[in-house]
Every structure is written in C-alpha cells, then in structure tokens.
Structure 1
Amino acid sequence: MNWYLDVLKKYAVFTGRARRQEFWMFALFNLIAAVILVIVDAALGTYPLLYGIYVLGVLLPSLAVMVRRLHDTGRSGWWILIDLVPLVGAIILIVFLATEGEAQQNAYGPNPKAAPTY
C-alpha cells in the first residue's frame, strides 16, 4: 500500500526515476481500486460516476510514475506517446516499462535501487 501512497504523494512529479516495483505495485493497487469502484458504482446504479472521478483523480499520478519509470530505463517520457500506435505501441510500451532500469546514474537522476549514502 505504501507504493500506491508514495506515488500519490508525488502527484505531478515528472522528474526523477521510479523503480519497476514502484510502478507495477501502483498499477496493481490502481487496478484493484478501479474494479472495486466499478462494482460499488454498479451496485448503487451510478456506474460511471465514482469510477470516472477516480480515473480523473489518478490520471496525473499515473502519467507521472510512467514517465519516471521510462526515465529509469534511460528513455524520455515522450515515449508514452508510442502507446498511440495501435496494438504494437502498447506492446512496446509494456516492454519498456518492464525493462530493468539502468544501474548507474543517468540523465534523469541517480539509481533509485542504490542504497542511500549518508
């Protein structure tokens, strides 16, 4: 749950890097929350209302963590736009998001996996 809340705390932070675990745990909790809201909406008879508000609320954090994840792999955040290419674009984006990040510091910041030095 902390992974989800950490991403929400960085609501619109598009700079830096995000680990695979941070991105995929956010995606998992986001999916679970969306499914629960769809079920609650259907039960209340207000289907797109709660779900729509939730989707709009997490749109920026979702984009921000995706950009930070792409930064971790050494790619620009503009690679998100490859998702606009039908079928192939989504597959390529998923591969980019699942790829391990660069071990060394890159143009977007230090490795988030590295232990902090005091």
Structure 2
Amino acid sequence: MNALKFSGRGGRHEYWNFILFLFIASCILVVINSVVFGPAVETEMRISIDSNGQRTEGIVTTQSYNGGILGTGFFVLTLLPSVSAAVRRLHDIDRSGFYLLTPFAGFATFAVIGMIFSQQTAIDRAFLPAGADDVFISMPSSIPAYLLGGAIALGGIIVTLIWLARASQANDNRFGPNPNEASS
C-alpha cells in the first residue's frame, strides 16, 4: 500500500486517479453532511454608513453547504496520503518532494509583507459622521509588495501543477525505476 510511502515514484495516472477519487468523495460528503446536519448557518451584524452620514444596522443570515464534520474528518484522514502521492509524483519527474513547498513560499512572503507593511489607521475623526468613532480601515502602505507576494504564490501553484501534470521521466532516476515500465 502506497498511502503513506514517501519514497519511490508514482505515475501520472496513479496520482490523478487519486485526486479524482478525493474530489468525488468530497462532493459526496458535502451532500451527506447537508442531508444529515443541514446547511451551515451564519448570522452577522452589519453596520453601514452612507454618504449622507446615515447609519444603518441589520442582521444578515447566510446558509452554506460544506463538508462540515464529515468533510473535515475526511480531509484529516487523507492529508498524509495526498502529500505522499504528490511527493511520489514529483519523484517521477526527478524532482524532490520539497518542491511541494513552492506555493507556500509565496504565501509566506505575502504574510510577512502583510505584517511589515500593513497598519491599522484610524480615519480622521473630522470626516466621520456622529456616532462612528469606532470605524477603522486597514491601509496597506505598499500595494506593490502585496502584489509581489501574491504573484509568487500564484506562480508557485502554477509551476507545481505543471510539474504534477508532466509525463513520467523515461527510464530509472535517482528515486527508482519508472512505474510505467513493466518490471522484469
């Protein structure tokens, strides 16, 4: 069983069939969770101030259908097998499994940039309508830095998906024999 095997190679067919199984199982779990537990209901209080300074308050209720407890359990149970399948898939094209961290480099860049360049700035109270003293907005001081972090993250995702879709490397490589060739 290859579910928790991080060594060796895994072919394109094996990997994408596993991804298809995960997708179909997740869709089925969303339906089952919705039938058994109903939709997820969220209620929030919204306050808005129009251009005339009129303050309106309202309660907004939204319903959504998601995997809920069943989907979360399925995700937890399949996380390591998913990572091991992706690592073996990267081994099949002669790449280290650490390349799976490529998209996270962009997200980490984005988060660090956000912590460094973002600040909570109070709106000048002279321009606020009466009773709106508690309104704050988040003003990034460096939009290009955010765009750079987002571009790195998106680029990492695209490159990783291209690698996962590539054909197997012919013959043996440093990770083992080609899984698509018949063993003697």
Aligned counterpart, 1:32: 24
Is 1:19 the counterpart of 2:11? The answer is yes
Write out per-residue CA displacement over residues 56-114 of structure 1, whole angstroms, 9 at most, x where no aligned residue. Answer: 00001000000000000000000000121221111111000001111010000001011
Tell me, in whole angstroms, the C-alpha distance in 2 between the residues paired with 1:28 and 1:83: 21
Residue among 99, 107, 110 paired with 2:174: 107
- TM-score under structure 1 normalisation? 0.88
Listed as ranges, the gaps of 5+ residues in structure 2 are 39-66, 107-152
Question: Following superposition, which runs of at least 4 residues in structure 1 exceed 6 angstroms of deviation?
Answer: none
The offset of 1:10, in angstroms, is: 1.8
Aligned counterpart, 1:5: none
Greater share of helix: 1
Residue among 58, 64, 71 paired with 2:78: 58
Q: CA RMSD in A?
A: 1.1
- TM-score under structure 2 normalisation? 0.57
Give secondary structure in 2 for the equivalent of 1:87: helix
Among the aligned pairs, what percent are the same residue? 38
Write out per-residue CA displacement over residues 21-41 of structure 1, whole angstroms, 9 at most, x where no aligned residue. Answer: 000010001100011101111
Residue type of the partner of 1:16? G
Residue type of the partner of 2:4? A
Greater share of strand: 2
* Structure with greater Cα Rg: 2
Listed as ranges, the gaps of 5+ residues in structure 1 are 1-8
Aligned counterparts, 1:69-88, within 5 A? 69-84=89-104, 85=106, 86-88=153-155
